[in-house]
Structure 1
Amino acid sequence: MTTQTVVLEDIRATYGTGERRLVALDGVSVAFERGTFSAVMGPSGSGKSTLLHCAAGLDRPSSGSVTIDDVSLGGLTEDQLTRLRRDRIGFVFQSFNLVSSLTAEQNVALPARLAGRRPAPGAVAAALAEVGLADRLRHRPSELSGGEQQRVAMARALISRPAVVFADEPTGALDSVTSRHILDLLRRLVDEHHQTVVMVTHDPVAAARADRVVFLSDGRIADDVRGPLAPEQIAARTAHLVEKSC
């Protein structure tokens, strides 16, 4: 088994034809190592969300290859892709995507239930305890704060112990204090549980919590920086990319 959880090689993603043809990703190659926290940033339209969707098997690239946990996605059927996403990939979105009529524990158990499986005894409670919601098992989304709803979504993403968690603007709908708590949790999952996290964000403060920041511009990797970066450095680099793309 390699040390790389996610590998994208020469990924191209195009939409439309002729004058309407849009190149969202233009030959992107990047790998994300196990047990690391990576942020993906760039101006609007740079290809951030497309990169995440291709990496997670939500969209198929026009060309190139994607490998997750040593499994190549290219040859998988839609059913096989669905099973891979269910078993080996966790998702956290800005909009939480919780079912309003279900309790926190029912939301966390839902992916397994839809797959015809029953979570292991105690697994749902343990997942909610991991994100600090041991006393909110039977609360519905309307009875939870935004930050608590996002933590339920994180517990749902983590219950299968996935190879990678893809987070798409996970703090975008939260205030600064709640955002910090969510980022603290993601950071702890990486540091204490060796979880691999790939996060798309527009927020330099969020990106500064990562081990690495991959900058995209016009569908290509413009920079790939490892090591601690201050939010001000990230903001300046992003502003420079915005100026270049105008």
Structure 2
Amino acid sequence: MAMAANETVRLRTVRRTYGTGDAAVTALDGVTTSFQTGTFSAVMGPSGSGKSTLLHCAAGLDRPTEGTVLIDGTDLGTLDETGLTLLRRERMGFVFQAFNLVSALTAEQNVSLPLRLAGRRFEPVEIRAALAEVGMADRARHRPSQMSGGEQQRVAIARALISGPSVVFADEPTGALDTTSSRGVLSLLRDLVTRQGQTVIMVTHDPMAAAYADRVLFLADGRIVGELRDEISAEAVASRMAGLETAC
């Protein structure tokens, strides 16, 4: 399965089933879609729609029961666990709701952690530049307990970007933040896409968060049931979500 030149991630007829026999649950039901390079995509759907499963399969955190996932032209299904780990380390960045910072480490130590784990040489100036990029240069020596939730998420984004990934996967990145902090983090992600051409795929339940994206993909019962593109508003997203939830 070839990828178009402007695609970073492609899924083809991806199915993910958990359990067997009468107890089997289909979380993804033959999903085919792609995510273009340098775009910000939001994935939404009612609870149990498969949105998190889609992200996990796209990122190689979970293996599809059937179908194909490509990242930068590499078929994830051809890789063993070591190969997947290396691909995630080199090509992907991750931002989670819970921040996942190491509490004993400073901001700069948390950001440099992926490089240390990969055995890559780096200069302190690189880490400071990454923190400056997310507005956290003055918090380099602070530990997570000394930072607000929004600040911790900015450090987590710097950590996700330090390896120069092809794609950043964000799973409910504003779920634990207040409105003001959420807007700051979303504006940062939006700016990374617009200014640096970063590719971001975000799972969210929040129409306000989705409104920062170039494209909103809607799932229901493990299938893609629609999308919005261009001039996306929180109101339009909320209306579409209300329709899906009523149908469920």
Shorter-chain TM-score range: over 0.9
Match among 202, 212, 216 for residue 199 of structure 1: 202
Tell me what 2:246 maps to.
243
Tell me what 1:39 maps to.
42
The amino acid of 1:81's aligned partner reads L
Q: Which moved more, 1:225-234 or 1:11-20?
A: 225-234
> Please, which runs of 5 or more residues in structure 2 have no aligned partner?
none
Asked if residue 189 in structure 1 is aligned to residue 192 in structure 2, the reply is: yes
Q: Which moved more, 1:5-14 or 1:116-125?
A: 116-125
Post-superposition Cα deviations, 1:142-189, rounded to whole Å, max 9, x if no partner, equal 001100000000000001111000000000000001100001100100
> How far did 1:118 drift?
2.9
Which structure 1 residue ranges, 4+ long, deviate > 4 Å from structure 2? none
Asked if residue 61 in structure 1 is aligned to residue 59 in structure 2, the reply is: no
> How far did 1:71 drift?
1.1
Match runs of 1:1-246 below 5 Å: 2-245=5-248
CA distance in 1, matches of 2:114, 2:17: 31
CA distance in 2, matches of 1:220, 1:27: 7
Post-superposition Cα deviations, 1:5-50, rounded to whole Å, max 9, x if no partner, equal 0000000000001121000000000100000000000000000000
Post-superposition Cα deviations, 1:101-136, rounded to whole Å, max 9, x if no partner, equal 000011011112122223345211111010001111
CA distance in 1, matches of 2:17, 2:232: 32
CA distance in 2, matches of 1:121, 1:107: 12
Q: What count of residue pairs does the alignment treat as equivalent?
A: 245
Post-superposition Cα deviations, 1:169-220, rounded to whole Å, max 9, x if no partner, equal 0000000011000011001000000000000000000001100000000000
CA distance in 2, matches of 1:191, 1:233: 22
SS in structure 2 at match of 1:110 = helix
CA distance in 1, matches of 2:39, 2:109: 29
The amino acid of 2:189's aligned partner reads L
CA distance in 1, matches of 2:233, 2:187: 16
CA distance in 2, matches of 1:100, 1:195: 28
Q: Percent identity?
A: 66
| Contact 2:114 2:163 survives alignment (8 Å) | no
SS in structure 2 at match of 1:122 = helix
The amino acid of 2:121's aligned partner reads R
Q: Which moved more, 1:113-122 or 1:74-83?
A: 113-122
> Please, which runs of 5 or more residues in structure 1 have no aligned partner?
none
TM-score by length of 1: 0.98
TM-score by length of 2: 0.97
The amino acid of 1:211's aligned partner reads D
| Superposition CA RMSD, Å | 0.9
